[in-house]
Amino acid sequence: MGHTTRFGSLGHYEKGGVEVINDDARNYVFSNVFEVASKSRPFEKVAVGKNIEYVIEAIRVEGTSGWRAPGQDEFALVMDGEVEIRLLKLDSPGVVPAGTKGSVGLPGTPAGRKMGVVRARRGHMTLLPVGAAYQLHAAQPGVVLLQTLAGADTIERWADICQTAPRPQS
């Protein structure tokens, strides 16, 4: 018996689901990152996975984001499209209050030294280091998964995105 792996995209995905044998589907978390991103506004940070305080956020990247600075290292994994990640070493890392979880939005372009630009495609992962600011840009809609701590801008809408009933038999 062979299996075929099909990778989705923002424009073409199948939701999939949990096939429950003898349990309740609500005991499992299942969401499709492409579906979540397709229904999100650009740069919304929607949690699609959670382990204690750690989250994986699905982000629809479309156009240019505002600048953000993380309270701890974050990791951005491009799942679809081509995303430009612009990095600045902050002159004043104190713009992020001590103890901040996740990242904070910054007004305008922060003062700092340009660190570089990463042009990432599907499967590329980029470190977004503490003490730096980042800005995301995509000419066409793309999807990024961000590994971080749940913060003030993390949106949790589990009831809207997770499977709550057994998957229909095909």
In this predicted structure, the answer to whether residue 19 has a pLDDT above a threshold of 90 is no
pLDDT at 29: 64
Looking up tokens 């038999």 gives: 169
What pLDDT score does 27 carry? 67
Fold observed for domain 27-157:
Jelly Rolls (2.60.120)
In this model, does residue 154 exceed pLDDT 80? yes
pLDDT recorded at residue 1: 66
Distance between CA 103 and CA 22 in Å, rounded? 40
Q: What confidence category does residue 168 fall into, taking pLDDT thresholds of 50, 70 and 90?
A: low
With vertex at residue 112, the alpha carbon angle to CA 109 and CA 116, rounded to the nearest 5 degrees, is 90
Model confidence at 149: pLDDT above 70: yes
DSSP designation for 137: E
| Measured distance CA(43)–CA(66) in Å, rounded | 9
Give the confidence band of 75 by pLDDT, cuts at 50, 70, 90.
very high
| Residue closest to 128 by CA, chosen among 39, 40, 80, 65 | 65
Q: What is the pLDDT of residue 69?
A: 98
Residues 60 and 44: their CA atoms lie apart, in Å, by: 7
Q: Does the global pTM surpass 0.75? A: yes
What's the confidence (pLDDT) of residue 165?
67
Q: So what's the pLDDT on residue 126?
A: 98
Q: Which contiguous run of DSSP H or E holds residue 50? A: strand 45-51
Q: What is the dihedral of CA 138, 140, 145, 150, to 10 degrees?
A: 70
Please choose, from the candidates 86, 66, 79, the residue with its C-alpha nearest in 3D space to the C-alpha of residue 12.
79
Q: What is the mean pLDDT of residues 123-131?
A: 98
Give the tens place of pLDDT for each residue, 26-61. 666 667 899 999 999 999 999 999 999 999 999 999
Q: Where are the domains of the chain?
A: 27-157
CA distance 33 to 6: 14
- For residues 91-95, give the mean pLDDT: 94
